[in-house]
Amino acid sequence: MTRRDIVTAIPTSFRADGSLDLDGSRSIFRYVGESGNEGAFVLGTTGEFPAVDDDEFAQLIRTAVEELAGRMRVIAHVGQPSAYEAVRRVKIAKDAGVTEFAALTPYYLPAAESAVYDYFAQVAEAVGDGALYVYIYPRRSGITVSPELLARLAQLGPVVGAKVSELSLDELAAYRAVVPDDFILYTGADKDLVAAGEVGAQGVVSGVSSVLPKPFRALAAAADTGDAQTIADAQTAVDDIVSVIGGDMARMKAAYRAMGIADGTCRMALVQPDEAALAEIERVIATYR
C-alpha cells in the first residue's frame, strides 16, 4: 500500500497582547492528537517560528512532547538564519525528547550551495542518531535547493527526507528522481496528498488538517481504494476546506475559536478574517468537523 502520511503543521496560540498562550497551544496539541494523523510538525511556518524566542521554543516543544508522544510523531522545526542558532534549537528539542527534526534552509541573506550544504552538515551533526528533514521553501527563505544539492544532502547520515513547499509537482518529481528510494518527500501543499503521491511523495505536511482533519483522513482512505469517484468526492471536500482556510494562520485560529478549542491570535503581522471569511469558516466547520 502506498504511504500517505498526514503530518499536521500546528499553529501556535498567542494572547491578544502578543504574549505566548501556552494553555491555548496545549489545547491545540490535544485536539490534533485526536486526529489519527501520523505526525505533528511543530514550530514551522504555521507555528510562526520566526517570532518565537528560545525560551518559548523550549516551552512549546516540551508541551508538544507531553501531549503527543505515544500518539503521533513529533517533528520539531529548528531552522534558523545560521547553523549556530539551528544547532542550539536542536539541543533544546533533544533535551525535551524529540528525535525527529526539520530545518528550513538558512534565510534572509543569499547563500551559495556550498554554504547551504555546510549549514545542514552542522545541523545533521547535532541531530546525531535522530532524523532530519530538509525544509525547502524558496518563496519564504529566498534559498533554492537544486536536485543536485538535495542528492548531496541525502548522503548526510541523519537526513532522511525533505518537506517541499510551494513548488510544482514537476519539481517534486525532479527531487524524487535523484534521491534514494527510501528518502521521504513531503509536500507542503495541503490538497496534494494524492497528486504528490503520484510523483513519488510519501505524504503531506498540512496546516489545514490541524483544524479539520477528518476530510484528510477520508482522502487518504479513498486513495487506498483506488476508486476514481470515491477519490474525487474526498478530494472535493479537501479542496473546499483548503479554499476557505488555506495556509492562513489567522483563519486557523478563528476556526479554533469557533470550535471552543483555543481563543488565541497571531503574533506576526497577518490580516484577520472579515465577516464573510468568518461565515465561510463556520460553514466548513459545520460541514466537515
48-99 pLDDT tens trace = 999 999 999 999 999 999 999 999 999 999 999 999 999 999 999 999 999 9
- Write the CA distances from 207 to 126, 240, 250, integer angstroms: 27, 14, 12
Nearest Cα residue to 58 out of 27, 81, 89, 86: 89
pLDDT value for 2: 83
Q: 92-123: string of b/e by CB count within 10 Å (b at 16+)?
A: bbbebebebbbbbbbbeeebeeeebbebbebb
87-96 pLDDT tens trace = 999 999 999 9
Instruction: Return the DSSP state at 108.
Output: S
Q: Where are the beta strands (DSSP E) in 68-202?
A: 73-77, 100-104, 131-136, 159-164, 184-187
Q: Whole-model pTM?
A: 0.96
Annotated catalytic residues are 135, 163
166 in the Ramachandran plot: left (φ > 0), alpha (ψ -120 to 50) or beta? Answer: left
Tell whether the model's pLDDT for residue 1 goes beyond 90.
no
Per-residue pLDDT band for 116 (boundaries 50, 70, 90) equals very high
What sign has the CA pseudo-torsion 64, 70, 71, 77? Answer: positive
Q: What domains are there in the chain, each with its CATH number? A: 5-212 (3.20.20.70)
Mean per-residue pLDDT for 181-198?
Answer: 97
- Rounded to the nearest integer, the mean pLDDT of the chain is 97
C-alpha cell at 264: 488565541
Instruction: Give the separation between CA 253 and CA 251, rounded to whole angstroms.
Output: 5
Residue 2, helix vs strand vs coil: coil
**Measured at the alpha carbon of residue 184, what is the angle toward residues 51 and 101, in degrees to the nearest 5?**
35
